[in-house]
Amino acid sequence: MSLGLSAAGRRAETVFWRRLVLERLHRIFALTIALQLIRCFGDYWWSETYDVIYAAFAAYAVTELAWSRAFALRLSLQIAASCAAVVLLTDFTWHGWPDSRVSWDAVRTFTVSHGKQFHPFLELAVGSLLVTHFMARLGTTKSRAIVFILTSIGALSVVDSFLPLELWRNIAWTVLAGLGWLFVLHLRALRERHYESWNALAERPLPLLLPAVAVVGLLVAVGMSMPRAPALLEDPYTLWLQAQNKEVPSFSGEGGLLNGSSASKSALSSKSGYGRNDTEIGGGFRFDYSPVMQVTTNQKSYWRGETKSFYTGKGWTDRKGMQTVSAAPGMSDLPLEPEYPEGVELRRVTQTVKLLREDRIPVLFTAGPARGLEDIDASGNARLSWNPEEWELKFPRAAQVNSYTVVSEVPVFDEAKLSAMSAIPADGKTSIDLAPYLQLPESLPDRVRELAREVTRDATGDFDRLKKLEQYLSSTYPYTNEPDVSKKKSADVVDAFLFEIREGYCDYYSTAFVVMARTLGLPARWVKGYTSGYDPSEEERLRAAGGGYRPDPNGAGTYTVRNADAHSWAEAYFEGYGWVPFEPTAGFSLPLPQPEIAPVLPESVSEDVPDAAADEPAAPSAESRLPAAAAIAAGAIALALAALWGWFRRGKLLASWRRFRNRGTTPNQRIVRETERLIRYLQRKGLKRQPHETLRETLAGWSGRVASLGPEFECVLHQFERARYAGGSGDEEAYRRFMEAADKIRKTL
C-alpha cells in the first residue's frame, strides 16, 4: 500500500511537478517580465507591432509549456508564428508567385517585395523572443534570477521617474512574476536537497500553495490599487530641483541654458524642451523625444506659449508693467490689443489639450490668440491671467495641469493682401505702441544692419522684405542642435550667428529674423512654444491607404507633441491686418490657414471614358492570403531549422570551408596566409602594431600583454618562420598545430 502511494507520488512529481512547474513555469515568469519591459514603448511603436509581439509571446507560452526539450523546434515554431502574425495582423500584401521561377530577377523581386513587408515587425518580435529565452535560460539559479528581476525593476523605475509614463502597474507585475520565479527556484532547491520533504509537498500541494498564492496576490492587488503619492515617490533629483524652485531639465529651454547658465558650457548641456529662461541664447542641447501633451484640434498649427519683445544682445526678456485680465473657465470674450480689423478673415480653432506628464507649466499653449477658455483641469489654486497684447495665458507660478480646452481665432493667411500693405502707414498712426517692437540695443554691430539692407535690396514692399529675410536665413545657415560656439567672438548673439558661428537651431534663426526686421523699421517680436507635433492616426492612414489617401486640408486631428518639438519663431506687425507669423528656421514649415478655394467641376464627362476602377486588380482577400501565410511560415521554419543545424555542426562546416578555401595550396602557404589574417584580426581587437616592428617583436609584445597565451604566440611565430624561411611545402601536421594555436588565441581574445 505504501509502495503504491510512493509510486503514485513519484509519478505525480515526474509528470506535473518536474516537467511543468520545475522545468517550464519559470519561462512564463520570464515572459511576463519581458512583456512589462516592452510596454515602455507604447507611445513609439505601432499597434500592429504589439499585435505581432503578443502573437509571438502566445506561441512562446504554448510551446514552452508543451515541451521541455527540443529547443530548436520550439524556437522554429515561435518564429513561424511571428511570420504568420505579420501576414495576418499587418497590412501585408501578397503579390503572387514569380512568373518564372528560373529567373533570378523574378525570384529577387518576389523576395524583396514580400520580405520588406516583414520590417520592422519580425525583427522586434524575434528580438523579444530571444531576450525572453536568454532570461529563462540563464535564470536557473537564484543569483541570476535576482539580477534579472532587480535590473528589470530598476529599468522600469527609471523610466517611470524620468519619462511621462505611468509604469506602476508594470512594476507590480514584475515584482509578482519575480516572486513566482524565485518560488519555483526554491522548489528546485528543495527537491535536490531534501527530497523527502519535497515528495510530501508533491503529494499534497494545495494546503501549502493556496495560502501563499492568496497572500502574495492580495498584497500585489492592494499595492496596484493604491493611489500614487508623487511627493513621496518622486526621484530624488526631481525633488531636489523642486525644493530649490528650479525647473526639471527635461523641460529646459531648447537652447540648453538652464537658469542663466552661460553659453560656454558644454554644447550638449541639456535636453530639448520648453523653458522660461531666454536671457541668454547659445550652447546646444540633446533631443528629448518624450511626449509632453496631446492636442486635438480642427486646424493644424504651431502651439503658441509666450512672447518676448526686449532684445538685450544676448537674449530676450519680458516687458515690465503690462496690463493683464483674469481668465477663468467659461470665458468666451478674451480681449485683443489691437482687435482684428474688419475685412480680415478669421478661422475659429478649438483645441483640447491633454498633458502627458506631471511637470508644472507656466502658460497654456494655444493656436494663435485665445478668445475663450472653455474648460481646465488643474491644481486647485491655479489662477490664470490673459495678456491681450502679447497673447499669453499665464500662471503667476507654474501650475500642474491635466487638460484644458481653449478656442482661438486665427487669421487666414492672405498673401496678396499683405503684399499690398505697409507695416506702418505713411501717417504713422497705429493701433498700438510699436516702440517696444522696434527696440534694439545700441551695441548692435553695424554689419547686421548692412546685411539686412543687402538681403532686402530688391524687395518691392514690407511683406516682400520680410519674406526675403525669412528665405535668406532658412537657405543660408544649416540647422544643428550642436552649434560650434567656440567660433563666437562677438558679444551680440545675432552678430555671432550671422557672421561667426553660421549654424544653429531655432532660437538663433528667430532672433536674427526679429533683429534684422527691426533694423529695417519693421515691428517684430519673438515667439516660442511648440511645433504641431505628429498625428499617429494620420501616419497609420497614410501607411494603410498609400497614394489613395487624401489628408484633411486643415490638418484636423490629434497631435502628440514631444519635448523635441519645442520651438521659437517670429511675428511681424501690419497695421490694418495684425500680427503675421514667419518661420525663418531651416527645415521647418509654419502651418497657416489658407483661403478656401471653390472646386472647379468639369462641364461634362464623356460616356466613352472606361471605368478605371474596373481595370484595377481586386485587393487580396483574407482567403487569398492564407496560402501565402502557410508558404512563408513553412519557409521560416525551414530557414530556422537550417540555421540551427548549421549552428550545431559549425565545427565540421568550418573545417569543410577551410578545406575548400585551401585547395591547391601547400601547408606552408596556408600558414603564411593565416598568420596575416590573424595579425589583422588581433589589430581589430585593439592590439597595436608599430610600422617598424618585425613580426617577432610584435608577437613578443602581445605575448607580454596576454601572458596566458605565451605558448600559443610562440607556436604561431615558430610555425610562421619555419614556413616562410625554411623552404619546401611543409606538412599538414605543422599546419594543424598552427591552426590550433591561432584558434585558441581568437577564442580567448
Q: Please give the average pLDDT of every successive group of 10 residues along the chain, which has 749 residues.
A: 40 53 81 86 72 90 81 88 88 73 72 83 89 87 87 82 68 86 81 70 65 67 55 49 47 35 39 74 81 92 93 91 88 90 90 87 91 86 87 87 93 90 90 93 95 94 95 93 91 95 94 96 95 79 58 82 91 94 92 68 44 42 47 60 66 68 72 83 76 79 76 84 76 83 79
The pLDDT value given to residue 221: 67
Taking the C-alpha atoms of residue 218 and residue 407, their distance in angstroms, rounded to an integer, is 47
Verify that 22 and 143 share a domain, yes or no: yes
Closest CA to 351 of 376, 333, 388, 334: 376
Please state, as a whole number, how many other Cβ atoms lie within 10 Å of the Cβ of residue 673.
14
Task: Give a yes or no: residue 382 inside a domain.
Answer: yes
Taking the C-alpha atoms of residue 140 and residue 184, their distance in angstroms, rounded to an integer, is 10
Cβ–Cβ < 8 Å for 16, 65:
no
Final residue in a domain of this structure, among 178, 208, 238: 208
Cβ–Cβ < 8 Å for 96, 114:
no
354 backbone φψ class: left, alpha, beta (φ>0; ψ -120 to 50): beta
Residues with Cβ within 8 Å of residue 306, at least 6 apart in sequence: 362, 363, 390, 392, 394, 527, 528, 529
Task: Give a yes or no: residue 26 inside a domain.
Answer: yes
Task: Give a yes or no: residue 297 inside a domain.
Answer: yes
Closest CA to 198 of 206, 188, 190: 190
Taking the C-alpha atoms of residue 548 and residue 577, their distance in angstroms, rounded to an integer, is 38
**Residues 602-605: contacts with CB within 8 Å, 24+ apart?**
none
Phi/psi at 401 (nearest 5 deg)? -120, 135
Final residue in a domain of this structure, among 152, 187, 208: 208
The pLDDT value given to residue 267: 38
The pLDDT value given to residue 554: 81
Verify that 200 and 343 share a domain, yes or no: no
Taking the C-alpha atoms of residue 42 and residue 122, their distance in angstroms, rounded to an integer, is 17
Reported residue count of the chain is: 749
Task: For 645-700, give the DSSP string.
Answer: HHHHTHHHHHHHHHHHHTTT--HHHHHHHHHHHHHHHHHHTT----TT--HHHHHH
Closest CA to 373 of 402, 389, 345, 351: 351
**For cell 519663431, what's the residue?**
569
Verify that 566 and 683 share a domain, yes or no: no
Residues with Cβ within 8 Å of residue 54, at least 6 apart in sequence: none
Task: Give a yes or no: residue 643 inside a domain.
Answer: no
What is the DSSP pairing of strand 361-364 with strand 392-399?
A: antiparallel
- Cis peptide leading into 98, omega within 30 of 0? no
For the stretch 543-552, pLDDT in tens is 555 555 566 6
Domain that holds residue 424: 291-582
Task: Give a yes or no: residue 444 inside a domain.
Answer: yes
Task: Give a yes or no: residue 154 inside a domain.
Answer: yes
Closest CA to 346 of 431, 406, 413: 413
Verify that 699 and 573 share a domain, yes or no: no
Q: Which residues of 165-177 are buried (b: 16+ CB within 10 A; e: fewer)?
A: bebbebbbbbbbb
Taking the alpha carbons at both ends of the chain, their separation in whole angstroms is 62
CA distances (Å), origin 200, targets 18, 184, 205, 678: 14, 16, 8, 59
The pLDDT value given to residue 231: 40
The pLDDT value given to residue 604: 43
Task: For 225-267, give the DSSP string.
Answer: HSPP-HHHHS-HHHHHHHHTT---GGGS-TT---TT--TTS-T
Task: Give a yes or no: residue 353 inside a domain.
Answer: yes
Task: Give a yes or no: residue 609 inside a domain.
Answer: no
Residues with Cβ within 8 Å of residue 495, at least 6 apart in sequence: 444, 445, 447, 448
CA distances (Å), origin 23, targets 189, 193, 497, 501: 12, 17, 65, 64
Verify that 342 and 463 share a domain, yes or no: yes
The pLDDT value given to residue 478: 93
Residues with Cβ within 8 Å of residue 614, at least 6 apart in sequence: none
> Into how many domains does the chain fold?
3
User: Identity (one letter) of the amino acid at 213?
Assistant: V
Q: Which three three-digit cell numbers place residue 276?
A: 522660461
Helices (H), 405-533: 415-419, 446-455, 462-476, 493-496, 506-519
Q: Which three three-digit cell numbers place residue 641?
A: 531549422
Three-state secondary structure along 285-328? CECCCCEEEEEEECCCCCEEEEEECEECCCCEECCCCCCCEEEC
Final residue in a domain of this structure, among 521, 553, 582: 582
Cβ–Cβ < 8 Å for 379, 355:
no
The pLDDT value given to residue 745: 81
Decide: residue 737, CB within 10 A, 0-12 exposed, 13-18 middle, 19+ buried.
middle
Taking the C-alpha atoms of residue 701 and residue 688, their distance in angstroms, rounded to an integer, is 9
Q: Which three three-digit cell numbers place residue 311?
A: 532684445
